[in-house]
Amino acid sequence: MAFEKVKRSENYSEWYNNLVKNADMAEHSAVKGCMVIKPYGYAIWEKMQAQLDFMFKETGHSNAYFPLFVPKSLFEKEEKNAAGFAKECAVVTHYRLKSNPDKEGSLMVDPESKLEEELVVRPTSEAIIWNTYKNWIQSYRDLPILINQWANVVRWEMRTRLFLRTAEFLWQEGHTAHATRDEALEETKKMLDVYAEFSEKFMAIPVIRGIKTENERFAGADDTYTIEGMMQDGKALQMGTSHFLGQNFAKAFDVKFQTKEGNLEYVWASSWGVSTRLMGALIMVHSDDEGLVLPPKLAPIHVVIVPVYRSQEEMLSIAAAMKPLMAILKSSGYTVKLDDRDTYKPGYKFAEWELKGVPVRIAVGPRDLDSKTAEVVRRDTKEKSIVPMDDLYTHICTLLLDIQENLYRRAEQVRSVKTFLADTWDEFLDVVNVKEGFAMAHWDGSAETETKIKALSKASIRCIPLDQIQEEGVCVFSGKPSKGRVVFSKAY
Amino acid sequence: MAFEKVKRSENYSEWYNNLVKNADMAEHSAVKGCMVIKPYGYAIWEKMQAQLDFMFKETGHSNAYFPLFVPKSLFEKEEKNAAGFAKECAVVTHYRLKSNPDKEGSLMVDPESKLEEELVVRPTSEAIIWNTYKNWIQSYRDLPILINQWANVVRWEMRTRLFLRTAEFLWQEGHTAHATRDEALEETKKMLDVYAEFSEKFMAIPVIRGIKTENERFAGADDTYTIEGMMQDGKALQMGTSHFLGQNFAKAFDVKFQTKEGNLEYVWASSWGVSTRLMGALIMVHSDDEGLVLPPKLAPIHVVIVPVYRSQEEMLSIAAAMKPLMAILKSSGYTVKLDDRDTYKPGYKFAEWELKGVPVRIAVGPRDLDSKTAEVVRRDTKEKSIVPMDDLYTHICTLLLDIQENLYRRAEQVRSVKTFLADTWDEFLDVVNVKEGFAMAHWDGSAETETKIKALSKASIRCIPLDQIQEEGVCVFSGKPSKGRVVFSKAY
């Protein structure tokens, strides 16, 4: 392939950027910080969306759509939330362009179209949604409200990175309203579990479920639950968050309901989201120096067949021989592609599909037809086998299941190898800076210590694991008492 | 139901607004001109999306995503397009808010965050997409590009109406690039056919396929193809457009490719879109004074079962009796809902599901269990039948097919009754103002006459039908010669 390859071991960050670009996933656009998601990348995102959407609906949620714009006066109502996002807001101030009298063929903002009130392009939709829920909720009969929205959001970023950090990104945001604290908290945890299940079973990425510290909490939440994954370079990536919002938004927007007993109470809330960041995680956890490696459950193409031929006649006989296999794979729900382009040689095609992470590649030439076999290569291990034509279907089905499992196992092993107990400050620095991994360390529970550790090591507390073991210890930094370890790591 | 009903015959426009609101489809938001699409309305839109997306993919298109923002300098490159949308653009000028020192707890736009170049919130994406395609296209091997995007767009509107005209709306926009004029034109027409098929087979709305006059053409297109539907009040609604863009955007963005023969030529283009306006058409064509009427192929719920009971015991035995039917309907791909809410009486439920347009309603009480029958009511004609339990499944399947067809027939009949030949100016005014329908009339082909007719009658040329009959005649307004009739009507 005509592009520069970079090895993970040489420059992980450049390897990532190159891969995203060369595998036709996404690219930077003419708009600073905004990305173009290319068809191949978008096809993976669509697979993710479809599965998540299914899981949201199975857990009782419906989709809806709320405005892109949030009037400033609504935006500022929940003060913590507003303060958290104010510094990264795209603001619409005018609603018309006009001809620029000083420059022919050019347009300028029409000063007469200045809006009375500025509109914030949503960085998240709690404000506009809670202002709407206010009118939907009068009585306990109106609860719960279980709504999800698929949307674009904008958070102005100076330093951007495709999928991981962009000014505009695509996401889903769930916003639920409940009659009781318990119910809202249960919802918050349930959706964290949905995210964890999606990550582990579909993305093949093991995650740690935990709670964020106050420093790292969503602005406006009482508690933020998170799933944290480990990338191949040992850094963490926050893959999804589910927020217990308490009554904060209900109070800010004055949303009360009449209880069964006839009292007026504030509504309880949750919100939860995952975004196109997940694409970044998918790439960073599984891919290798040859390109993308995709778990079969999220691969837009499961199997590619590359015919090896010299004449058009040979091509046609190979295509004919593969037809029944393609039909039966298709009817089993797999996407199969016969790469019959005559503008490229087989070697080029092998490299291209490897780069694009297609889980299984089949190569068939005239001699294979004679011997009634085919060469099958699995993308994850690059292992080759010669398989009798009659066994191909079963072989491929088993292989796809095996690749899915193998990717998860491999990711789990990387994480296990790069996770360390750190009991002293030196050990801690060694883990996060030299070994480059997760440090399971005691922390005294104070925001002050957390901030100092981050300033000195660049490692943050990723979460307090939900399955944290109660263990007496002393803070790795302050020496003060602690009752359990938390997960520290550098992060994306 | 606790809401005010308005009859179509009394006030069509108020009937529409009431229906959209009462059937829980959509509502106005706190942001001027922007709507909230509520879960029930969004579920219908999702059904539309799924079918259209399937049809786009079947015709070889892939989805992708391009930025929400268009830098002003790109926006203005294709001058006609820019001029066409300049007056309705939301413009982002700043990227940060800060605390307002004069008002505690309040935010203000940070003047230091002024953007060097303003960003237009996309009203349509040709500019940003062609600026991207420029880098994707070097040779004929890179063509065609067949991409669709599902997105939100913003066109600032002063007078808005839910679904029909809102500042922000949801849509899909296809953007294709081709090596030849013929291929681009073929694509333009193919996608018009896809829209027409979707409208007729899924929305059950007959449409006229035609070409827009120059006055009504998309800004930046060489030709705009359209499908026009007739609403129950005799007005037209433009349901989808497919634009042949010629080489206009290729020239504006300097997108050339090397032909097979080695020459450098500008690329040919099409773009095509349908939006949440289709929701408005769906409502206006089929619904009645009792509420929404939905074609089964786009109904989120196909069958609702309302148990009529006095005791919880009775309820449970009805639910148990209905279980096998629900299972078999579900396995046939239908959505069935058992309305077992004990907070509402059957009469209330009947009215609610009627309002929401569920195609088939089944009512079952203890006596029905005894006689092994159920009452089935179809939403379109309100016809009731008593059906033996054993026949229910077959009966419902047939009924759903029949409702789909009947809605189409009914809409076709309304259109046929309200379509008139108009040969004189008096006849013309009578059709568009008194009879209120489509006037098939001769027109001299000049933009001037078209403009005058619109000014005097408020009727515009909806399209020059693709199946226009060649017929000598004289223009209904100017008396000048004409070779065929065009479709005039008032329109949404």
Q: Mind listing the pLDDT tens digit for each residue in A314-370?
A: 999 999 999 999 999 999 999 999 999 988 999 999 999 999 999 999 999 999 999
Tokens matching residue A257? 């309901």
Q: Nearest-CA distance from B465 to chain A in Å?
A: 35
- Which of B79, B87, B109 minimises the CB distance to A93? B109
Q: Which of residues 89-148 of B touch A (CB under 8 A)?
A: 89-99, 105-107, 109, 118-121, 128, 131-132, 141, 147
Chain A residue with minimal CA distance to B27?
A132
Beta strands B419-422; B438-442: pairing state: parallel
- Identify the band that residue A3 occupies on the pLDDT scale cut at 50, 70 and 90: low
Rounded mean pLDDT of chain B? Answer: 97
Q: Specify the pLDDT at position A2.
A: 52
Q: Which CATH superfamily is domain B12-286 in?
A: Bira Bifunctional Protein; Domain 2 (3.30.930.10)
Contact: B36, A86; criterion CB under 8 Å: no
Q: Specify the pLDDT at position B3.
A: 60
| Cis peptide bond prior to B144, omega within 30° of 0 | yes
Q: Specify the pLDDT at position B2.
A: 53
* Cβ atoms within 10 Å of B484's Cβ, excluding its own: 16
Contact: B98, A109; criterion CB under 8 Å: no
Q: How many CA atoms lie less than 13 Å away from A96 in the CB half-sphere?
A: 12
- Identify the band that residue A286 occupies on the pLDDT scale cut at 50, 70 and 90: very high
Q: Which of residues 306-345 of B touch A (CB under 8 A)?
A: 343
Give B144's contacts in chain A (Cβ within 8 Å): none
- Which of B46, B107, B156 minimises the CB distance to A86? B107
Q: How many CA atoms lie less than 13 Å away from B410 in the CB half-sphere?
A: 20
Q: Which of residues 352-381 of B touch A (CB under 8 A)?
A: none
Question: Which residue from A70, A151, A34, A275 is spatially nearest to B97, judged by alpha carbons?
Answer: A70
Contact: B156, A96; criterion CB under 8 Å: yes
Rounded mean pLDDT of chain A? Answer: 97
Contact: B107, A75; criterion CB under 8 Å: yes
State the burial class of residue B263 (Cβ atoms within 10 Å of its Cβ: 0-12, 13-18, 19+): exposed
Q: Which of residues 235-254 of B touch A (CB under 8 A)?
A: none
Q: Which of residues 63-82 of B touch A (CB under 8 A)?
A: 63-72, 74-76, 79, 82
CB A458 within 8 A of CB A467: no
Contact: B62, A75; criterion CB under 8 Å: no
Q: Which of residues 154-173 of A touch B (CB under 8 A)?
A: 154, 156, 168, 170
* Cβ atoms within 10 Å of A89's Cβ, excluding its own: 28
The mean pLDDT value for B61-71 works out to 98
The mean pLDDT value for B471-488 works out to 97
- pLDDT digits over A355-410, tens only? 999 999 999 999 999 999 999 999 999 999 999 999 999 999 999 999 999 999 99
Q: Nearest-CA distance from B434 to chain A in Å?
A: 38
A418-489 has the same fold as A12-286: no
Contact: B82, A156; criterion CB under 8 Å: no
Chain B residue with minimal CA distance to A53?
B46
| ipTM metric | 0.97
Give, as one character, the DSSP assignment of residue B285.
Answer: H
Chain A residue with minimal CA distance to B300?
A62
Give B42's contacts in chain A (Cβ within 8 Å): 62-65
- Which of B82, B91, B96 minimises the CB distance to A87? B96
The CATH number of domain A418-489, selected from 3.30.110.30, 3.30.950.10, 3.50.50.60, 3.30.420.40: 3.30.110.30
Give B30's contacts in chain A (Cβ within 8 Å): 67, 71, 74, 128, 131-132
On the question of pLDDT at A32 being above 70, the answer is yes
Query: Coil, helix or strand for B154?
Result: strand
- pLDDT digits over A298-311, tens only? 999 999 999 999 99
- pLDDT digits over B273-316, tens only? 999 999 999 999 999 999 999 999 999 999 999 999 999 999 99
Mutate to test the interface with B, among A25, A66, A95 (most CBs of B within 10 A): A95
Contact: A64, B31; criterion CB under 8 Å: no
> Which class is domain B419-489?
alpha beta
The rounded distance, in Å, linking the Cα atoms of A197 and A189 is 12
Question: Which residue from A392, A395, A362 is spatially nearest to A376, judged by alpha carbons?
Answer: A362
- Which of A34, A45, A92 minimises the CB distance to B91? A92
pTM: 0.97
- Which of B35, B65, B121 minimises the CB distance to A92? B121
Contact: B39, A343; criterion CB under 8 Å: no
Which residue in the block uniquely carries the two structure tokens 């490229």?
A344
Run of H or E including B483: none
> Which class is domain B303-399?
alpha beta
Q: Nearest-CA distance from B96 to chain A in Å?
A: 5
Tokens matching residue A183? 């119910």
Lowest mean pLDDT, pick from A1-5, A100-104, A215-219: A1-5
Contact: A151, B151; criterion CB under 8 Å: no
Contact: A119, B90; criterion CB under 8 Å: yes
Give A119's contacts in chain B (Cβ within 8 Å): 31, 90
Length of chain B: 492
Contact: A128, B154; criterion CB under 8 Å: no
Q: Nearest-CA distance from B214 to chain A in Å?
A: 22
- pLDDT digits over B158-207, tens only? 888 999 999 999 999 999 999 999 999 999 999 999 999 999 999 999 99
* Cβ atoms within 10 Å of B397's Cβ, excluding its own: 15
Contact: A31, B91; criterion CB under 8 Å: no
- pLDDT digits over A55-99, tens only? 999 999 999 999 999 999 999 999 999 999 999 999 999 999 999
Our measurement of the distance from residue B410's CA atom to the centroid of its chain's CA atoms, rounded to an integer in Å, reads: 19
Q: Which of residues 210-229 of A touch B (CB under 8 A)?
A: none
Chain A residue with minimal CA distance to B147?
A39
The rounded distance, in Å, linking the Cα atoms of B127 and A50 is 29
Q: Specify the pLDDT at position B343.
A: 85
CATH 3.10.620.30 fits A301-402, yes or no: no
The mean pLDDT value for B138-163 works out to 95
Give A132's contacts in chain B (Cβ within 8 Å): 27, 29-30, 36
Name, in order, each residue with C-beta under 8 angstroms of A12's C-beta and a sequence gap of 6 or more. Answer: A232, A233
Q: Specify the pLDDT at position B282.
A: 98
Contact: A42, B62; criterion CB under 8 Å: yes
Question: Which residue from A467, A453, A416 is spatially nearest to A437, judged by alpha carbons?
Answer: A416
- Which of B74, B96, B128 minimises the CB distance to A86? B96
Length of chain A: 492
What is the count of residue pairs from A and B with beta carbons less than 8 Å apart? 190
Contact: A121, B92; criterion CB under 8 Å: yes
Q: Specify the pLDDT at position A159.
A: 85
Contact: B128, A31; criterion CB under 8 Å: yes
- Which of A35, A65, A95 minimises the CB distance to B170? A65
Q: Specify the pLDDT at position A343.
A: 85
Beta strands A373-378; A360-364: pairing state: antiparallel
On the question of pLDDT at B427 being above 80, the answer is yes
Q: Specify the pLDDT at position B107.
A: 96
Query: What are B389-398's contacts with CB under 8 Å, separation 24+?
Result: B389/B321, B389/B325, B392/B325, B392/B362, B393/B325, B393/B328, B393/B329, B396/B303, B396/B329, B396/B334, B396/B360, B396/B362, B397/B332
Query: Domain segments of chain A: what residues?
Result: 12-286, 301-402, 418-489
Q: Which of residues 25-44 of A touch B (CB under 8 A)?
A: 27, 29-31, 34-39, 42-43
Q: Which of residues 392-431 of A touch B (CB under 8 A)?
A: none
- What Cα–Cα distance (Å) separates residue B244 from each residue in B180, B210, B218, B466? 12, 13, 9, 15
Chain A residue with minimal CA distance to B106?
A76
- Which of B35, B46, B92 minimises the CB distance to A63? B46
Contact: A36, B121; criterion CB under 8 Å: no
Tokens matching residue B389? 């339990």
Q: Nearest-CA distance from B264 to chain A in Å?
A: 20
